[in-house]
Amino acid sequence: MTRDSYLNFLEKFSISNEDFIEYGLNDIIFVPSDKVKNEWEILKKKVYSNQEVYIRGMGRDANSTKYMFEIHKSLFGNSNIKKDSSNNAYPTKFLKELTGYSKIKSKKYNHINNYQISHVFGYTKNALMFMAPWNIVYIPKLFDPFSGHESKGELTQIFSTKLKEITYEKFKGQIDDYNSIVNNPKFIDSLNTSIENLKTNNDEISDKLLNSIKNEFSEIKI
């Protein structure tokens, strides 16, 4: 029998799994829908018109990020993809401006404590995903481990799945638009060719890393 500290906590204080999960989901701060629609179009234009766009670093000490730069140049013709300095600096600034909430006290924004910035669907080394306004949320720190990054078990699976379902329901148009890009046969062919070129031109790159790079451009499945 598996001992689960979260389940033990809920049982101790007579909190049902359903109430716990519902509370966490209701306390998540999303970007407003009208701003998501506008900012998604802006992001796509930046990616496809060789403008500066940020991604999260890949690999230990971000040593594999250079391969992501190559892939983006090949897929989108964009040679201005940059690594985010802290792996969350730009999403932090972006989320603050779009939601009006800030973790740092300011006269301009509403102050919040004990919230974590989270990417709902991940794929943060992909320029269309790292700054996608529908992929970034403020999640209560108590629930951040349940988003699928730091915990395991039944609660994590249920919470993570429901979070993705709710996000998809809110931003179905933009997420479907993203899926139409990565599922386009021309895009898939270009991605496969780019991966093969990486393998041919870089003897040191492993198949595991190549699969990780390719996975960053996966379809979002609910």
Instruction: Tell me the two tokens of residue 15.
Output: 């909190």
pTM: 0.93
- pLDDT of res. 148: 63
Enumerate long-range contacts of 101-107, CB under 8 Å, 24 or more apart.
101/29, 101/138
Task: State the average pLDDT for the chain.
Answer: 94
Report pLDDT for 217: 98
Looking at residue 131, its amino acid is M
CB 76 within 8 A of CB 181: no
The pLDDT assigned to 146 comes to: 81
pLDDT at 150: 66
Q: What is the pLDDT of residues 38-77, one digit of tens each?
A: 999 999 999 999 999 999 999 988 999 999 999 999 999 9
> pLDDT at position 2, please?
83
Place of tokens 């780019």: 194
Mean pLDDT of 158-181: 97
pLDDT, one tens digit per residue, over 84-133 is 999 999 999 999 999 999 999 999 999 999 999 999 999 999 999 999 99
pLDDT digits (tens, 9 = 90+) for 16-29: 999 999 999 999 99
Contact (Cβ atoms closer than 8 angstroms) between residue 138 and residue 101: yes
Contact (Cβ atoms closer than 8 angstroms) between residue 25 and residue 19:
no
**Cα(159)–Cα(123) distance, integer angstroms:** 19
pLDDT score, position 176: 98
| pLDDT mean over 204-210 | 94
Task: Examine the pLDDT at 218 and tell me if it is beyond 80.
Answer: yes
Token representation of residue 199: 């393998």
Whether the per-residue pLDDT at 151 is higher than 80: the answer is: no
- How, if at all, do strands 81-83 and 53-55 pair? parallel
Q: What is the 3-state secondary structure (H, E, C) of the chain?
A: CCCCHHHHHHHHCCCCHHHHHHHHHHCCECCCHHHHHHHHHHHHHHHHCCCCEEECCCCHHHCCHHHHHHHHHHHHCCCCEEECCCCCHHHHHHHHHHHCEECCCCCCCEECCCEEEEECCCCCCCHHHHCCCCCEEEEECCCHHHHCCCCCCHHHHHHHHHHHHHHHHHCHHHHHHHHHHHCCHHHHHHHHHHHHHHHHHCCCCCHHHHHHHHHCCCCCCC
In order of 125, 141, 200, 214, the CA distances from 207 in angstroms are 17, 35, 12, 10
Domain boundaries along the sequence of the chain? 16-215
CB 53 within 8 A of CB 46: yes
According to the model, what pLDDT value does residue 144 have?
84
The stretch 205-211 carries a mean pLDDT of 95
